[in-house]
Structure 1
Amino acid sequence: MKGVIMIIDGMADRPHEKLSGKTPLEAAETPNMDRIAESGVNGIMDPIKPGVRAGSDTSHLSILGYDPYSVYTGRGPFEAAGVGVDVKPGDIAFRCNFATADENLVITDRRAGRIRSGTSEIARTINSMEIEGFEDVEIIFRESTGHRAVLVLRGPDLADSVSDADPKSEGKPPKKVKSTDGSPESMRTAEILNMIVERSYEVLKDHPVNLKRISEGEAPANIILPRGAGAVPDVEKFQTRYGIRAACIAETGLIKGIGNLTGMDVIDVEGATGGIDTDLDGIREAIISTLNDDYDFLLINIDGADEAGHDGDLEGKLEFIEKVDAMLGDMPEMDDVCFILTADHSTPVSVMDHTGDPVPIVITGPGVRVDGVKSFGERAAAAGGLCRIRGSDIMDILLDLMNKKDKFGA
């Protein structure tokens, strides 16, 4: 028996007036998700606990059975591990955005027009920077998917107790990074970060990639915004924890990083952008191929619905959910597979950010007690046999259905 968890990132939502009070998932044409719901046991899930606005990182850790309050040090280390940086103890890692700033360093686009190309050339320029007075600190910068990137600081006397540079909205300059605990190490780290942000604009404003983007009417990626500081955590490997061999198919560096740090084999998919333009056919073929390999467990993350939610793109979210549904319809029958379909959090288009609303979940496979739910959606799932569970319950339920759970007691 194999176990599969497919997470449609940010798929869950809130009722929308333009959809006559339905959510995008409820309004979308999803015959294949409905078929899955009808053949399984349904419920709603709080990724961490009720009302907690989970990030994709903390929710995935919880769903995989790790306590995010213990192992989560910040987003940066996971993002860095996901793009191939060999992070080491003592490194301080940050998630970054390529962004657009005007001549007054006011951010005009936090995602640099959803940049898709040229970021590797920009990353090389960032890596060549030197910060005067801090020559003992190595700057390791690498592009991720789209507007995402990672920054790693390696050197003595550094700490992760620092604030973000990202102002979180346009029309504001980058925030001054500050120490959050007053320690000499964190104050030193904050000073370095502030210099890196300012210096990034100086070296990128006239970069050939950006001059070309400007000439084509596109937003330049002329500044970086670090956030999500974290020291590299010590995470128990998934196979050690559960005794099963696992693989991960994901689009973004963040989720790939969770796969890497938990010891999963990360399967790269060409054309998987993490946006609504992602290659779902390529993802489907990778899923089929991986399930035919010698793996016991497969984690899948598909990200486009989350992007649409953050952009407030109602039509884009509807269309993407329907595309994912069509992909599910093209999947072959999976015998001896316990399959879970869910989301990692809600990203309502009306809020344009994550919320603490629970998400729908359905489990299918041999031995599942099928309930009477006929469609897959936030409110329909709430009537199902799983009732309301937490993300931390999922691995126990899955391993039990896979007949790989040890008995507790005599």
Structure 2
Amino acid sequence: MKYLIILGDGMADKDIPELGGKTPLEYADTPTMDKYSKMSEIGMVHTIPDGMAPGSDTANLSVLGYNPRDYYTGRSPLEALSIGVDMKTTDVALRCNIVTVSTDELPYEEKTIIDHSSSEISTEDAAVLLEAVRKELENDIYKFYVGTSYRHLTIWDKGEVVDLTPPHDVLGQKIGQYLPKDDKLREMMKKSYDILSNHPINVERMKSGLNPANSLWFWGAGTRPMLTSFEEKTGHKGAMISAVDLLKGIAVGAGMKVIEVEGANGGLDTNYEGKADAAVDVLLNGGCDFAYIHLEAPDEMGHQGSYERKVKAIENLDKRIIKRVVEKMEAAGEDFRMLVLPDHPTPVAIRTHVSDPVPYMLYDSTDKKNNTWSYNEKDGEASGNYIAEGHTIINRLFEK
């Protein structure tokens, strides 16, 4: 038996008037999920422990079977594992986004966050901008490391886990009240605007109609993580397929195989087929019996507030990943169990995460159900199946 989790980050949502009162998951054309939901267990799972922030960090730890209350030490330290930064016990890691703030003449504190991803800037362009910042701001205390797209890392020697606000929670708002209380972090963010606002890359981006990547934004502070081996914990050898450093970092910490897929970028134009093929290959030929496919695109489209693009991301997940995976597994004659779910909702109406339960679909090729459910939020609730502790859903997948 082989096992898969296919996770559409932020895929769950609320009813949207422009979609006829449906959620993007209900509205999207998803023939594969429609077909397999009739043969699956459908339900709802609460991935975010009460009182914890609804982030992809806590939620994906939960889906992988790690209770965030026991294992979570911050988001950025997990990303540091992916980037290859060996943190000291006295280090604090910070997520260092390159964001778009308004280009008006107002003081920095009165500017507004326009875009948390700087028009999904490429890693190549972001690396050039981060190097410009590094030349001006890096020292023995603060070190900067390139991640993926707009997502980067700062290591603070003998730092402090300070309270910081994610930029996607500040979209469209003046930033003053959300800036770090720490004087040095706040000063570096202000200086980064001076360094980046007229950088040649940003001049060209604006000419092309793209948002300028003109400010750093620190958040997600945390200390060195300590994850139990996934294989020791579950008895299964696992592989991670994701474009996002957070997910790759969780996998590194858990001793899972990390598979890099060319063209996988965390955006709507990611390499869907490459992700599907990588998962099937590692299950059939790579010595693993568990694969985790993470798709960032629905979450990014939710943050952008675009229901049209979120629907498209879900349709791509259905037709270009799930369909391809099940067809290849069936053609190989391999028995498999497949869990499809989001990690958390990212409603387009508010453009940030919430901690509501999310719908799941659990399919077993050897035990096909016969029901009328579709895979969406409403049918998940109507099914009556509810998993209150998200970190236990992986036991349902592994039949423990």
Task: Specify if TM > 0.5.
Answer: yes
1:372 aligns with 2:365: no
How many angstroms apart in 2 are the aligned matches of 1:320 and 1:176? Answer: 32
Distance 1:206 1:269 in 2: 34
Any unmatched runs of 5+ in structure 1?
A: 179-189, 406-410
CA contact (8 A) 2:280 2:329 kept: no
State the SS of the aligned residue for 2:33. helix
Instruction: State TM-score, norm by structure 1.
Output: 0.86
Structure 1 range deviating more: 295-304 or 383-392: 383-392
| Aligned-partner Cα distance in 1 for 2:52–2:147 | 30
Report what 2:83 is aligned to.
83
Instruction: Supply the AA of the counterpart residue of 1:381.
Output: G
**Considering only aligned residues, what root-mean-square deviation do their CA atoms show, in Å?**
2.4
Partner AA of 1:113 in structure 2:
S
The counterpart of 1:144, out of the listed 148, 156, 160, is 148
- C-alpha contact 2:276 2:293 (8 A) present in aligned 1: no
Percent identical: 33
The aligned residue for residue 110 of structure 1 is: 115
CA contact (8 A) 1:274 1:304 kept: yes
Say whether residues 1:249 and 2:237 are aligned partners: no
Determine whether 1:343 maps to 2:348. no
Contact 1:41 1:368 in 2 (8 A): no
Amino acid at match of 2:114: D
In the alignment, does 2:34 pair up with 1:29? no
Report the more deviating stretch, 389-398 or 298-307. 389-398
State the alpha-carbon separation in 1 of the partners of residues 166 and 52 from structure 2.
24
Q: Return the alpha-carbon distance in structure 2 between the equivalents of residues 151 and 371 of structure 1.
A: 51
**Range moving further from structure 2, 267-276 or 224-233:** 267-276
1:172 counterpart = 2:174:
yes
Larger deviation, residues 249-258 vs 50-59 = 50-59
Q: Which of 310, 315, 326 is 1:322 aligned to? A: 315
Unaligned runs of 5+ in 2: none
Report the Cα distance in structure 2 between the residues aligned to 1:170 and 1:236, rounded to whole angstroms: 39
Structure in which a larger fraction of residues adopt helix: 2
Deviation at 1:18, TM superposition (A): 1.9
What SS does the aligned partner of 2:255 have?
A: coil
3-state DSSP of counterpart to 1:94: strand
CA distance in 2, matches of 1:398, 1:66: 14
Deviation at 1:164, TM superposition (A): 4.1
Moved more, 199-208 or 252-261: 199-208
The one-letter amino acid of 1:364's match is Y
Q: CA deviation at 1:340?
A: 0.6
Measured after TM superposition, the shift of residue 52 of structure 1 is 6.8
Structure 1 pair 219/71, CA: closer, same or farther in 2 (3 Å)?
same
Matching residue of 1:185: none
Among residues 301, 312, 318, which one is paired with 1:308 in the alignment? 301
TM-score between the two structures when normalised by the length of structure 2: 0.88
Q: Does the 8 A contact of 2:57 with 2:75 survive in 1?
A: yes
SS in 2 for 1:127: helix
Which residue is 1:275 aligned to? 267
Determine the C-alpha separation between the residues in 2 that align with 1:296 and 1:372: 28
Name the stretch that deviates more: 343-352 or 160-169: 160-169
1:297 equivalent in structure 2: 290
Amino acid of the structure 2 residue aligned with 1:305: P
Distance 1:218 1:194 in 2: 26
| Alignment match, 2:329 | 333
SS at match of 1:351: coil
- The yes-or-no answer on 1:204 pairing with 2:196 is yes
SS, match of residue 129 in structure 2? helix
How many residue pairs align between the two structures?
384
**Shift, 1:354, TM fit:** 1.6
Q: Deviations over 1:184-205 (max 9, x none)?
A: xxxxxx3332232123223323
Residue identity opposite 2:135 in structure 1: S
2:129 counterpart of 1:128: no
**Counterpart amino acid of 2:288?**
Y
Name the counterpart of 2:18. 18
1:224 matched to 2:216? yes
